[in-house]
Amino acid sequence: MPALLPTENLLELLIAGIFTKNFLLVMFLGLCSFLGLTKDMSSSIGMSMAVTFVMGMASIITWPIFHFILVPFGLEFLQTICFILLIASFVQLVEFIIRKHQPALYRSLGIYLPLITTNCAVLGVVLLNAQQNYSYVGSVVYGISGGLGFGLVMLLASGIREKLLQRGVDMFGGFTGAFLVAALLSLIFVNYFGVIQF
Amino acid sequence: MVKEELKYVALLLGIIGALFVLILILPMVTVTTILGVGLVVLILEILPFSYIIYKEHKGEPLVNAIGTVARLTLIAMVAAGALSTTYETTQAYMAANLEMVLPRIMPDAATFTPVGGEEEPVYYEAYDDAGNLVGYVFFVEKQGSQGLILLAGAIDLDYNVLVITVVRHSETAGLGAKIKETAFRDQFLGLSVADLHLSPEGKIDAITGATISSQAVVDAMRTKIGEIQTEVA
Amino acid sequence: MTDRPSLLSEFTKGIIKNNPVFCLVLGICPTLAVTTSFENGLGMGLAFTFVLLGSNLFISLLRNQTPSIVRLPIFIVIIATFVTIIDIVLQAYLPPLYEALGIFVPLIVVNCIVIGRAEAYASKNPVLPSITDALGISVGYILVLMLIGGIRELLGTGKITFVMLWLLENGQIGFLELATLHIPIEPATVMILSPGAFFTIGSLMFMFKFMGKKMSERRG
C-alpha cells in the first residue's frame, strides 16, 4: 500500500518548492512562460495562479494513477504518455467548465490555460513526484509549493522588467533582458537560499 | 440530447471491446502489452469525451464521431503496443548485461572487479576513484512464490547491507510485488548476516500476505552474504 | 517532391534563420538544464533529434487521417511514444547519460519545438520536406546545445572534453573521447550552476541578435 499520509517533512517540501529548488530558476522548468509573460505584472499574476492550480490538481490526479495502476502492473514505462494525456484532458475540461460557468474568471485566467499543457513545470512536478516516491499529501504539497515558487519568481521578474521598461531601458523588453534578470535572480536563489538545510 | 450521448458511449465501448478481442487472439502478446494498450486507450479517450461530445459532434451524424474515435483508438493501440515491445526488448537486454547495472547499485564506486565463479562471478569488488576497496556488490536469484526473483545488493567491508534492489521479479501485484517497495527494502539497511531472518528471529518484518516472497528475499540475501564472507576469507 | 534546392533550403533554414533557440526562442528549459557539459548537450540533442524525426515522420504520414478536432491528442500520443522509446533505450544502453539527463528526456514531450513543428509544418506537408525540416531544426538545436554546454564546461571546470557517440571497443554504444582542452584560468563554479546558464544564453542571444542586425544592415 503506497503511503497516503506524509512520510516526509512537509515544511522541507514547501521550502524546496518555493526557494531551494525553485522550478524556474534552479530546476529550469517552465521557462517558456517566464520569457513570454513577464513583460507586464497582470499577465504574470494570471499565469502564476493558473499554473499553481494546475500543478496542485495534476499532483492530485496522477498520484493514484501511478501508484494504483502503473506500479502494481509494472507499467511505469508508460508514465510519460499517461501523465501528459491526463494533464491535457484535465486542462481541457477545466477550460470548458470555467468558460461556461465563470465567464469573468475565464477572461482573467482561462486564456492562460491552453498554454499550460505545454508548460514543463506541470509535467515536471508529476514526474518528480513519481521519481521521488512522495506520499499522496507530500505530492500535493510539493505540487502547490512548486506553483507558488513559480509565481514568486514570475512576480519578481515582471516587477523588475516593468519598472526598467518604464524608465526607458529598452533592452529589458527583449529576451536578452529576461535572461539577464533571470541570471541575477537565480544568483540570489542559488547562493542565498542554498544555505537552507534540513 | 442525453440519449444521443449514451448511444455514443455505447458505440465507443463497443469499438474498444472489439479491438481488444482482436489483440487478445493475436499470438505472442504479453500481459504487459495488453494492460499497457488498454490503459493508454482509456486515458486517451477521456480527451474526446470532454471535447467531442459536448462541442464538435453535437448535432452531426453519429458516424463522424465513430470515425474520429476509431482513429484515436487505433493510434493509441499502435503506440502502446510499440512501447511495450521496446520495453520488453530492453528489459531482456538489461538482464543479459547485468554488469551495466553495477554503477547504479553503488554510485560511489568507480570500478568493479568480478571475483570467483566459473560462469558468473560470485560477487564484484567495488573500488572508489582513489582505488580503495569500498565494498562488494552482488546479484542473487531465488525462487519466490510465482517465479524467480533477481536481487542486486551491496555490502560494506564489515558485510553490513548498504543497498538492496529488486532487479526483476514476477510476484503477485499488490502482495509479493511489495518486495520492490522502499518500506520493505529499507529494513535491510545496515543489517549483518545474523539479523537477516524474518522476525521474531531476525529483524525483518514479512509483508502481510506475502510471507513466501519475503522469506525468499531474506534467505537469498543471507545465503549470498554468507557465501561472500567465506569467499573473501 | 524531388526539388533539390528547396529541400536544401528547408534544411538550412533550421540552422540559422529559424534557429529553434536563438530565433524562435523555444525549447529553452532543456537548453539550460542539461548543458552542464559538452557531452550532455550532445546527448540531449541526439535524443531530441530522434523524437523530432520520428514524430515529424508519423504526423506527416497520418496528416490526412487526423481529424482536426482531435489533432492535439494525436500529436501528443505520437510524440510521447517516441519520447518513451528513447527514454527506455537510453536507460538500457546508455545508463550514465540517462542519469545525467534525468527527467529532461521525458520532458521532451512538452518541448515547444516538437509540438510547434508538428502543428506548423509536419501536419501540413508531405513526408520528405517534413523530415528535412526536422533534420535542419535538430542540427540547429544540437549546435546550440553543444555551444552552451561547451562554454559552461570550459568556464566552469577549466577544461572541455570533446566526445562523439560511437561504437566502443567493448561492443557497446557510448561516448568516445576525442580531445580534451585545458585553459589556464581559475574555474568559476557558478557557470555550472543555474546563474551561469542564464548568463551564457543571455550573452549568446545578445550576440546573435547584434550580428543579425549588423548583417542585415550591411545587406540592406
Residue B61: pLDDT band (50, 70, 90) is: low
One-letter amino acid of A188: I
Q: CA–CA separation, C1 vs C44, rounded Å?
A: 31
Radius of gyration for the alpha carbons in chain A, expressed in angstroms and rounded: 17
| pLDDT at C3 (0 to 100) | 47
Higher pLDDT, C86 or B194: C86
Hey, are the CB atoms on C89 and B90 less than 8 Å from each other? yes
SS3 B139: strand
Mean pLDDT score, A3-26: 85
E strand or H helix at C138: helix C127-157
ipTM of the complex, rounded to two decimals: 0.88
Q: CA–CA separation, B171 vs B151, rounded Å?
A: 13
Whether chain C has a CB inside 8 Å of the CB on A77: the answer is yes
Q: Which residue in B189, B166, B178, B167 sits closest to B214, CA to CA? A: B178
Whether chain C has a CB inside 8 Å of the CB on A127: the answer is yes
Mean pLDDT score, A98-127: 83
- Selecting from A86, A88, A133 the residue whose C-beta is nearest the C-beta of B182 gives A133
Give the Å distances, CA to CA, from C198 to A68, B33, C23, C63, C157: 40, 43, 17, 38, 17
Least confident of A1-10, A172-181, C192-201: A1-10
* CB < 8 Å to B80, chain A: 78, 81
| Average pLDDT of chain B, as a whole number | 77
Whether chain C has a CB inside 8 Å of the CB on A86: the answer is no
Least confident of B18-27, B76-85, C62-71, C107-116: B18-27
One-letter amino acid of C112: C
Q: Do C155 and C149 touch, CB atoms closer than 8 A?
A: no
Higher pLDDT, A50 or C6: A50
pLDDT at B145 over 50: yes
Helical ranges in chain B per DSSP H: 2-25, 31-48, 62-96, 102-105, 182-185, 211-232
Hey, are the CB atoms on C209 and A176 less than 8 Å from each other? yes
The residue in chain C having the minimum alpha-carbon distance to the alpha carbon of residue A114 is C72
Least confident of A167-171, B7-11, C12-16: B7-11
pLDDT at B195 over 90: no
* CB < 8 Å to A81, chain B: 40, 79-80, 83
- Selecting from A77, A118, A176 the residue whose C-beta is nearest the C-beta of C112 gives A118
| pLDDT at C4 (0 to 100) | 47
Mean pLDDT score, B94-121: 75
pLDDT at B3 over 70: no
Hey, are the CB atoms on A35 and C73 less than 8 Å from each other? no
Q: CA–CA separation, C80 vs C98, rounded Å?
A: 17
Q: Do C42 and C163 touch, CB atoms closer than 8 A?
A: yes
Mean pLDDT score, B181-201: 86
Domain that holds residue C84: 4-219
| pLDDT at B46 (0 to 100) | 65
| pLDDT at C109 (0 to 100) | 92
Hey, are the CB atoms on C84 and A176 less than 8 Å from each other? no
Q: CA–CA separation, C86 vs C54, rounded Å?
A: 11
Q: CA–CA separation, A144 vs A18, rounded Å?
A: 9
pLDDT at B52 over 60: no
- Selecting from C109, C198, C202 the residue whose C-beta is nearest the C-beta of A80 gives C109
| pLDDT at A57 (0 to 100) | 94
Q: How many CA atoms lie within 13 A of A155 on its CB side?
A: 11
Mutation target to probe the A interface, by most A beta carbons within 10 A, among B34, B37, B50, B78 is B50
Q: CA–CA separation, C158 vs C209, rounded Å?
A: 28
pLDDT at B66 over 70: yes
| pLDDT at B194 (0 to 100) | 85
Hey, are the CB atoms on A77 and C28 less than 8 Å from each other? no
Q: CA–CA separation, B139 vs B117, rounded Å?
A: 12
pLDDT at B81 over 60: yes
Q: Do C61 and A57 touch, CB atoms closer than 8 A?
A: no
Residue B57: pLDDT band (50, 70, 90) is: low
Higher pLDDT, A188 or B98: A188
Chain segment A60-110, per-residue pLDDT in tens: 999 998 988 888 887 888 899 889 988 988 888 888 788 888 888 888 777
Q: CA–CA separation, B103 vs B31, rounded Å?
A: 31
- Selecting from B47, B71, B82 the residue whose C-beta is nearest the C-beta of C65 gives B71
- Selecting from A26, A77, A124 the residue whose C-beta is nearest the C-beta of C107 gives A124
Q: Which residue in B205, B41, B44, B185 sits closest to B105, CA to CA? A: B185
Hey, are the CB atoms on B83 and A2 less than 8 Å from each other? no
Q: CA–CA separation, C178 vs C167, rounded Å?
A: 13
| pLDDT at C44 (0 to 100) | 93
User: Residue C57: which residues within 8 A CB-CB, separation 6 or more?
Assistant: C122, C127, C130, C131, C134
Q: CA–CA separation, B78 vs B8, rounded Å?
A: 23
Residues facing C182 on adjacent strands: C159
Higher pLDDT, A131 or C117: C117
DSSP string, A20-57: IT-TTTTS--SHHHHHHH-SSHHHHHHHHHHHHHHHHH
Residue A196: pLDDT band (50, 70, 90) is: low
Domain count within chain C: 1
pLDDT at B12 over 70: no
pLDDT at B80 over 60: yes
Domain extents in chain A:
10-188
- Residues in chain C with pLDDT values less than 50: 1-4
Hey, are the CB atoms on A85 and B51 less than 8 Å from each other? no
Q: Do C30 and A32 touch, CB atoms closer than 8 A?
A: no
DSSP state of C66: -
Question: Could you tell me the three cell numbers for B12?
Answer: 465507443
E strand or H helix at B113: strand B111-115
Q: Which residue in C197, C208, C163 sits closest to C31, CA to CA? A: C197
User: Residue A12: which residues within 8 A CB-CB, separation 6 or more?
Assistant: A198
Domain extents in chain B:
2-96, 98-232
pLDDT at B23 over 70: no
E strand or H helix at C8: helix C4-13
* CB < 8 Å to A127, chain C: 103, 106-107
| Average pLDDT of chain A, as a whole number | 85
Cα of A1 to nearest chain B Cα, Å: 7
The bridge status of strand C159-167 relative to strand B161-168 is unpaired
- Residue in the structure block whose three cell numbers are 501508484: A67
* CB < 8 Å to C115, chain A: 118
* CB < 8 Å to A123, chain C: 106-107, 109-110
Q: Which residue in C38, C124, C110 sits closest to C79, CA to CA? A: C110
- Selecting from A32, A81, A187 the residue whose C-beta is nearest the C-beta of C112 gives A32
Mean pLDDT score, B19-37: 66
